[in-house]
């Protein structure tokens, strides 16, 4: 048994990386090689089909069935030339992952043979029997059908031998069963609402897009070593393991030189990503040993979300090819940093303006302040909901655990922007220097220095920080589908912008000039949303107290945090924006609670199994050896002398006895707690029981296991240790 650990460690150590080769082609030539992008559409589609498809993509026009046939034919021709034999509708069910069911192009030809075919109707719509996807009770098994429908705004791509068609997934009764459908609705809502507000400043704006740049953090562990850790394999994290003597305290890993074996993995991953049209740009070592980050350049939100989902599966595959296991879990190791997925989010117009970017003229700056303040108002009003959007059983280990980010959503603006908002708040003069002039506003808005764009001051503890021309939502988990956070954020901002327009228009109807009406409303908003602004240390205990006083959501229990989705103001917001109905929200919460319960249930089982079947037997075996030794010493040197010389061994014998007794007692109690929680039928109550009575046992049991790791003979310990997981 104990051999396994040494064998896998030895094997890992003997893996010699080959030299890292440069890709055979230049990256710009590889870019989007596996994507049916505009250039390929142009090449493979007849002109009318091309024009129609571009209209669908750019303007959301409906896709004509006849056109669909010629689009499908062109697509198939391209795909076949690329060696593709199958196609799949690729969608994002509520499991948090992606789903695909591959079909080959083959159809009977009615002459006893087969032919390869790909018709427009199968491109546009499919009916997967999807009864085993989570649906929160929306679909009963007798009406198990759901359907997937093509999202033409996200291009079709090739993975291995399969043509992947990004789709939404909805039930036959029309409710969304995935992340993409509500995301597309949220993006439409923010587009409509933002256009209206943009037009105060520039009547020519026709479209507002949300942009998203995702920084993906992850750990790499040797595959063989990870394979000897049942907890990593089954739960994605280590449920036990004493900290290594050295971890991140020297801060020598962050931005350090990338180990060669990892470098090979990164290169391969980047080539595959670029071929799929994912503009990967930044890679570096992260803070913790074995932790890395990959960030593509920002893209339109819907595409960035899809690309992140593709990237996560690519990472898993490429890691396996390199003898690694990639850990996307938010907290795989205790005592060192966990992983997040910073979501850099902004809004931009078809006229090329980033709406959270300061401008050069007073009018542009007023627009900038308008959008920043409305974003703050949205985050303020829905801070609890935003927290719910990033909450999960796995991300719960990061939030509030004295690590980025705290379990309270607040926003950091930096000194310059803060003082600007203060200036607007306290200003009394509404006149504005003639638009186009480069002077500051006469109403005391200082000119915004260019330097702000370089986002000079940073606060890493803030979950929602302004960083120059965008906000960075840092609370999102490394494993999550970022759509969940983007649905809430974009809908909340849409709702807020609609409100803003109403408020401004109301003042204008009373005769106030537009500029002055905008400023009046902004001043009111700046005052109102002050509680969300926080520039201090988000990890401190004082902040927890202060946030409570400010009325921010401070709940830390995962199942209770989900309640925010069903608060009246949340339901109203989603329904009004046409993003989700109450029924959909209720169903999704059922899924969230159920998933939470299952994850804790699996962890409890694995922890119980490891404790009882691995740890205790090893500890007792070692203890018996010590006891045996003491007896033998007594035999040769008499009791008194032997006991005096064995004082330390006797202490360890006792320690092992106490700790193993504690562990088995508490595992039994945990199993009992699980049994009684399992009797609860209502998902919410069950999740709460799992949180309060099952998950709450983990730390204590682990504590004693980790202490045993320190006393038991290293050669007998079967589970690879932290130093082996993190430093090989």
Contacting positions for ligand ADP (CB under 6 A): 211-213, 215, 282, 295-298, 344-346, 354, 469-470
| Closest listed residue to residue 689, CA positions, set 555, 559, 556 | 559
Q: CA-CA distance, 272 to 266, in Å (whole number)?
A: 10
CB atoms near residue 208 (< 10 Å): 25
Report the partner that residue 533 touches, choosing among Mg ion, ligand ADP, none (CB closer than 5 to 8 A by kind).
none
User: Which CB sits closer to ligand ADP, 55 or 457?
Assistant: 457
For Mg ion, which stretch binds (CB under 5 A), given 159-167, 339-347, 407-415, 659-667? 339-347
CB of 27 to Mg ion, least distance (A): 23
CB of 708 to ligand ADP, least distance (A): 39
CB of 342 to Mg ion, least distance (A): 4
Strand (E) or helix (H) holding 89: strand 86-91
User: Which CB sits closer to ligand ADP, 470 or 659?
Assistant: 470
User: Which CB sits closer to ligand ADP, 346 or 478?
Assistant: 346
Q: CA-CA distance, 330 to 337, in Å (whole number)?
A: 9
What are the start-end ranges of the H helices in 138-179? none
Does residue 351 contact residue 204 with C-beta atoms inside 8 Å? yes
CB of 538 to ligand ADP, least distance (A): 16
Q: β-strands 324-327, 464-466: how paired?
A: unpaired
User: Which CB sits closer to ligand ADP, 297 or 635?
Assistant: 297
Report the partner that residue 332 touches, choosing among ligand ADP, Mg ion, none (CB closer than 5 to 8 A by kind).
none
Q: How many residues bind Mg ion (CB under 5 A)?
A: 1
Report the partner that residue 368 touches, choosing among ligand ADP, Mg ion, none (CB closer than 5 to 8 A by kind).
none
Q: CA-CA distance, 114 to 376, in Å (whole number)?
A: 59
User: Which CB sits closer to ligand ADP, 345 or 622?
Assistant: 345
Q: CA-CA distance, 360 to 368, in Å (whole number)?
A: 10
Residue closest to ligand ADP, measured at CB: 213
CB of 257 to Mg ion, least distance (A): 21
Report the partner that residue 146 touches, choosing among ligand ADP, Mg ion, none (CB closer than 5 to 8 A by kind).
none
CB of 469 to ligand ADP, least distance (A): 5
CB of 671 to ligand ADP, least distance (A): 44
CB of 208 to Mg ion, least distance (A): 23
Report the partner that residue 90 touches, choosing among ligand ADP, Mg ion, none (CB closer than 5 to 8 A by kind).
none
For Mg ion, which stretch binds (CB under 5 A), given 248-256, 309-317, 342-350, 526-534? 342-350
| Closest listed residue to residue 394, CA positions, set 342, 326, 338, 344 | 338
Does residue 148 contact residue 168 with C-beta atoms inside 8 Å? yes
Q: Give residue for tokens 């896709």.
A: 63
342 binds Mg ion (CB under 5 A): yes
Question: Could you give the count of Cα atoms lying within 13 Å of 666 in the half-sphere of its Cβ?
Answer: 23
331 binds Mg ion (CB under 5 A): no
Q: CA-CA distance, 126 to 118, in Å (whole number)?
A: 12
CB of 159 to ligand ADP, least distance (A): 23
User: Which CB sits closer to ligand ADP, 299 or 594?
Assistant: 299
Q: Output DSSP code: residue 16.
A: P
Does residue 153 contact residue 301 with C-beta atoms inside 8 Å? no
User: Which CB sits closer to ligand ADP, 341 or 523?
Assistant: 341
Note the residue count of the chain: 728
- CA distances 377 to 17, 472, 524, Å, are 51, 16, 11
For Mg ion, which stretch binds (CB under 5 A), given 132-140, 300-308, 341-349, 606-614? 341-349
Q: β-strands 86-91, 162-171: how paired?
A: parallel
Report the partner that residue 213 touches, choosing among ligand ADP, Mg ion, none (CB closer than 5 to 8 A by kind).
ligand ADP
For Mg ion, which stretch binds (CB under 5 A), given 32-40, 61-69, 151-159, 334-342? 334-342
User: Which CB sits closer to ligand ADP, 308 or 481?
Assistant: 308
User: Which CB sits closer to ligand ADP, 197 or 404?
Assistant: 404
Q: Output DSSP code: residue 178.
A: B
CB of 453 to Mg ion, least distance (A): 15
User: Which CB sits closer to Mg ion, 223 or 293?
Assistant: 293
CB of 472 to Mg ion, least distance (A): 5
| Closest listed residue to residue 212, CA positions, set 331, 322, 106, 342 | 342
User: Which CB sits closer to ligand ADP, 212 or 376?
Assistant: 212
Report the partner that residue 487 touches, choosing among Mg ion, ligand ADP, none (CB closer than 5 to 8 A by kind).
none
CB of 130 to Mg ion, least distance (A): 36
Strand (E) or helix (H) holding 291: strand 291-296
Does residue 52 contact residue 59 with C-beta atoms inside 8 Å? no
Cis amide linkage into residue 468, ω under 30° from 0: no
- CA distances 338 to 233, 331, 398, 399, 582, Å, are 17, 4, 6, 10, 34
Report the partner that residue 208 touches, choosing among ligand ADP, Mg ion, none (CB closer than 5 to 8 A by kind).
none
User: Which CB sits closer to Mg ion, 180 or 342?
Assistant: 342
Report the partner that residue 469 touches, choosing among Mg ion, ligand ADP, none (CB closer than 5 to 8 A by kind).
ligand ADP
Report the partner that residue 479 touches, choosing among Mg ion, ligand ADP, none (CB closer than 5 to 8 A by kind).
none
Q: CA-CA distance, 631 to 296, in Å (whole number)?
A: 64
Hey, which residues does 295 pair with through a beta bridge?
282
307 binds Mg ion (CB under 5 A): no
Hey, which residues does 169 pair with through a beta bridge?
148
Report the partner that residue 341 touches, choosing among ligand ADP, Mg ion, none (CB closer than 5 to 8 A by kind).
none
Does residue 708 contact residue 659 with C-beta atoms inside 8 Å? yes
CB of 289 to ligand ADP, least distance (A): 19
Q: CA-CA distance, 476 to 615, in Å (whole number)?
A: 34
Counting Cβ atoms within 10 Å, is residue 454 exposed (0-12), middle (13-18) or buried (19+)? exposed
Residue numbers at the binding site for Mg ion (CB under 5 A): 342
């Amino acid at each position: 048994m104990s051999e396994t650990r040494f064998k896998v460690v030895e094997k890992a150590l003997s893996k010699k990386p080959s030299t890292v080769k440069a890709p055979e082609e230049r990256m710009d030539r590889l870019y989007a090689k596996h994507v049916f992008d505009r250039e390929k559409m142009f090449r493979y589609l007849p002109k009318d089909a091309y024009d129609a498809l571009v209209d669908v993509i750019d303007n959301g026009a409906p896709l004509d069935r006849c056109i669909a046939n010629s689009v499908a034919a062109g697509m198939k021709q391209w795909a076949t030339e690329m060696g593709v034999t199958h196609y799949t509708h690729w969608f994002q069910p509520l499991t948090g992952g992606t789903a695909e069911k591959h079909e080959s192009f083959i159809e009977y030809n009615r002459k006893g043979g087969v032919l390869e075919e790909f018709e427009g109707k199968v491109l546009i719509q499919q009916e997967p029997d999807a009864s085993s996807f989570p649906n929160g009770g929306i679909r009963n098994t007798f009406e198990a059908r759901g359907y997937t429908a093509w999202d033409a705004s996200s291009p079709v791509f090739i993975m291995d031998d399969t043509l992947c068609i990004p789709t939404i997934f909805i039930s036959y009764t029309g409710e969304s069963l995935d992340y993409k459908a509500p995301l597309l609705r949220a993006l439409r809502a923010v587009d409509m609402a933002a256009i209206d507000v943009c037009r105060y400043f520039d009547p020519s704006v026709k479209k507002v897009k949300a942009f998203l740049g995702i920084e993906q953090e992850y750990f790499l562990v040797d595959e063989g070593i990870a394979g000897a850790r049942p907890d990593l394999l089954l739960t994605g994290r280590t449920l036990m393991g004493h900290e290594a003597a050295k971890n991140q305290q020297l801060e020598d890993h962050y931005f350090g030189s990338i180990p060669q074996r990892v470098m090979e993995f990164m290169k391969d991953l980047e080539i595959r990503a670029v071929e799929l049209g994912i503009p990967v740009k930044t890679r570096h070592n992260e803070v913790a040993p074995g932790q890395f980050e990959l960030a593509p350049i920002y893209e339109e939100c819907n595409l960035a979300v899809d690309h992140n989902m593709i990237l996560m599966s690519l990472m898993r595959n490429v890691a396996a090819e390199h003898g690694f296991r990639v850990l996307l879990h938010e907290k795989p190791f205790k005592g060192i940093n966990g992983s997040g997925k910073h979501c850099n989010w902004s809004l931009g117009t078809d006229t090329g303006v980033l709406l959270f970017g300061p401008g050069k003229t007073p009018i542009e700056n007023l627009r900038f302040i308008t959008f920043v303040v409305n974003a703050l108002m949205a985050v303020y009003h829905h801070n609890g909901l935003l927290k719910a959007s990033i909450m999960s059983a796995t991300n719960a280990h990061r939030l509030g655990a004295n690590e980025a980010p705290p379990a309270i959503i607040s926003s950091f603006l930096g000194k310059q922007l803060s003082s600007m908002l203060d200036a607007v708040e306290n200003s009394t003069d509404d006149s504005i220097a003639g638009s186009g002039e480069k002077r500051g506003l006469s109403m005391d808005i200082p000119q915004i220095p260019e330097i702000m764009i370089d986002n000079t001051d940073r606060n890493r503890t803030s979950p929602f920080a302004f960083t120059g021309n965008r906000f960075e939502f840092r609370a999102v988990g490394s494993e999550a589908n970022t759509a969940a956070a983007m649905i809430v954020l974009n809908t909340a901002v849409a709702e807020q912008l609609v409100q803003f327009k109403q408020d401004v228009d109301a003042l204008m109807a009373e005769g106030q000039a537009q500029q002055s009406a905008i400023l009046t409303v902004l001043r009111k908003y700046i005052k109102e949303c002050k509680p969300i602004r926080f520039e201090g240390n988000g990890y401190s205990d004082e902040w927890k107290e202060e946030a409570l006083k400010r009325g921010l959501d401070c709940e830390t229990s995962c199942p209770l945090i989900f309640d925010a989705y069903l608060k009246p103001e949340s339901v109203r917001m989603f329904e009004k924006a046409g993003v989700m109905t109450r029924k959909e929200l209720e169903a999704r919460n059922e899924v969230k609670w159920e998933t939470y319960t299952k994850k804790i249930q699996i962890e409890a089982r694995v922890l119980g199994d490891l404790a009882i079947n691995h740890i205790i037997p090893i500890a007792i075996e070692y203890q018996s050896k010590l006891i045996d030794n003491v007896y033998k010493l007594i035999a040769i040197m008499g009791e008194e002398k032997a006991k005096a010389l064995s004082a330390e061994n006797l202490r360890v014998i006792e320690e092992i006895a106490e700790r193993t007794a504690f562990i088995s007692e508490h595992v039994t109690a945990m199993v009992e707690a699980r049994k009684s929680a399992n009797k609860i039928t209502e998902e919410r109550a069950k999740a709460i029981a799992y949180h309060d009575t099952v998950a709450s046992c983990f730390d204590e049991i682990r504590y004693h296991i980790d202490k045993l790791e320190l006393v038991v003979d290293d050669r007998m310990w079967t589970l690879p240790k932290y130093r082996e997981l993190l430093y090989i």
